Structure 1
Amino acid sequence: MSNLYSALFCTFIFISSFTAYAQGSDVPVKTIPTLDVQRYLGTWYEVAKYPNWFQKKCVSNTKAVYSVRPDGNLKVLNSCKTAEGNVSEAEGVARQIGGKDSPKLEVRFAPAWLSFIPMVWGDYWIIDLDGQYQIAVVSDPRREYLWILSRSPQIDRKSYEDLLQRLQAQHYDVRKLELTTQTEAK
């Protein structure tokens, strides 16, 4: 099943690479100025996302755990609970694009032997991050994907509303956001 998931993800990245600025805005996506990767490591709970095909089976408890791999890249372990009550996991690799404090990363969930193909790498740009590294927003240069992440399973309403205003200022359609059910304790 994970090979099918990888193949589908690769196909999707290939197709989406030809649809730049698909969200109707030719205003470039703005990332945060710098990223301290060491502070970004650890567990992030998904608060909300743009619906996407590769998370369709996820119904709750979606989270990502980031750690450093021996080669200096990041291990990404995504997990969620399915409607059947099972935990679905996908392990990937992330690498920074640019300098050591770049907020632009690429992520790959395809098998390592496909890593030489550019289309298997998806953009993972951090476009919003609070100073305490507790709430983050991840997207891509085409505004096709959007994830709101938090160090805790829920965030307070005011922080979420302020974040939505910043996303609207970046030309994101916040009406497309789908809240994620989190039933796990931190």
Structure 2
Amino acid sequence: MKILQTFAALAVALGVTGQAQTPLKTVDHVDLQRYLGRWYEIARIPNRFEKKCVRDVTAEYAMDGSDITVRNTCVQADGKPNIAKGKAKVVDKTTSAKLKVTFFWPFYGNYWIIGLDPDYRWAIVGEPGRKYGWILARTPSLPAATLDAIRQQFAASGYRPADLIYPQQTTAH
């Protein structure tokens, strides 16, 4: 019996439920030049690599030759800044909506843009297994109605908006 419980727990932890998820759909096109720059993290699915980030979480993307540089920053609970530098590469040249990001080469993670405001004011980022997800904005906050609409789109992509956490954004950065 103990072995069956262990296998069941392992299956749940790995996301093996017997139900197939619908494939995650990305946006039709991303203009990378418009996407570059600073994004504020409005919300995220909790993850181990941002576990200590409690406020002022941002991501900055820039071109460095043919590479996209990534600089994630946040302030931890103890008040200390945390900076992670990485690189991204486009893996779907047709849409530029599917990228791979690394902060520790040779390990890459999926970074799929699954929602994007036509004026690039906000973005939804996810990955096919729906283990990770973010709501990003060009400003430290979004109007309530806009955020509600984004959460609905997040849910329509197969995510649970109730899982999101919302780090504090201050104007001190």
1:33 aligned onto 2:28:
yes
Identity of matched residues, %: 38
Rounded Cα–Cα distance in structure 1 between residues aligned with 2:172 and 2:75: 14
Q: Which residue of 1 aligns with 2:117?
A: 130
Q: Distance in 2 between matches of 1:21 and 1:121?
A: 22
**Could you tell me which of 22, 41, 44 is aligned with 1:46?**
41
More strand as a share of residues: 2
Work out the CA distance in 2 between the residues paired with 1:56 and 1:92: 18
Aligned to 1:161: 148
Question: Equivalents in 2 of 1:185, 1:130: separation in Å?
Answer: 26
Instruction: Name which of 100, 124, 143 aligns with 1:106.
Output: 100
**Per-residue deviation at 1:167?**
1.5
TM-score, normalisation: structure 2 = 0.87
Could you say which residue in structure 2 is the equivalent of 1:144?
131
From 42, 65, 75, the equivalent of 2:60 is: 65
Distance 1:107 1:97 in 2: 10
User: What secondary structure does 1:182 align onto?
Assistant: coil
Deviates more, 1:47-56 or 1:160-169: 160-169
Where in structure 2 are the equivalents of 1:5-20 lying within 5 Å? Answer: 19=14
The alignment yields a C-alpha RMSD, in angstroms, of: 1.9
1:20 is displaced (CA, Å) by 6.8
Structure 2 match to 1:8: none
* Equivalent residue letter for 2:151: L
**Shift of residue 88 of structure 1?**
0.5
Provide the aligned length of Structure 1 versus Structure 2.
Answer: 160
Runs of 4+, deviation exceeding 6 Å:
none
CA distance in 1, matches of 2:20, 2:155: 12
**After alignment, is 47-56 or 96-105 more displaced?**
96-105
Per the alignment, in what secondary structure is the counterpart of residue 124 of structure 1? strand
> Distance in 1 between the 2:133 and 2:168 partners?
16
Q: Deviations over 1:84-122 (max 9, x none)?
A: 111100000000002164200000001xxx43xxxx010
